[in-house]
Chains A and B, each alone.
Chain A
Amino acid sequence: AQSVTQPDIHITVSEGASLELRCNYSYGATPYLFWYVQSPGQGLQLLLKYFSGDTLVQGIKGFEAEFKRSQSSFNLRKPSVHWSDAAEYFCAVAHGSGGSYIPTFGRGTSLIVHP
């Protein structure tokens, strides 16, 4: 069965500092990998996704993530954090075919940004 681990429950950074959120997955084949962000009282918004090809993927809001097969990781990064980035971040892995898939989410990492 597929699984996702986000080892950091909370991360605190200062505004302007760089950010890396960790994500490790367990899945037999090449997975579909995603990062989502959730602001309080909101649904999830897709930041970026990886299916195949270039292992460094660019997303919205200045985020990027790197797929490392050897480490089963898909860490999210941002070079300079803004106060508006404070939110809950979820890594997810999905498998499926023909357009049908079932995602598994990590438990989330709460990002706190200090001014």
Chain B
Amino acid sequence: NAGVTQTPKFQVLKTGQSMTLQCAQDMNHNSMYWYRQDPGMGLRLIYYSASEGTTDKGEVPNGYNVSRLNKREFSLRLESAAPSQTSVYFCASSERWGSGDEQFFGPGTRLTVL
């Protein structure tokens, strides 16, 4: 039981390049989330998927897109990376949406955009 897994763990991009961060969970959770963590800012929600087949914007969605591929997988895409997107990205999942369930987090992806 791996919980929430993310790939890659580290990535360096040049400005304008694109990439997709992958996330998968094996807990049969309905809801999945993408956060970014910047120094002194805590975690901020980028996008979420309350259930398979739905996605919605969080606090800081600009410059990102997401895909809920199936119940297990939720990917985050940067179409044209910018230095302001340098951050640590966390994927999370929870059993249900809006019920105050604990969110389980992946190990994070450290992204640097030059």
A binds B: no
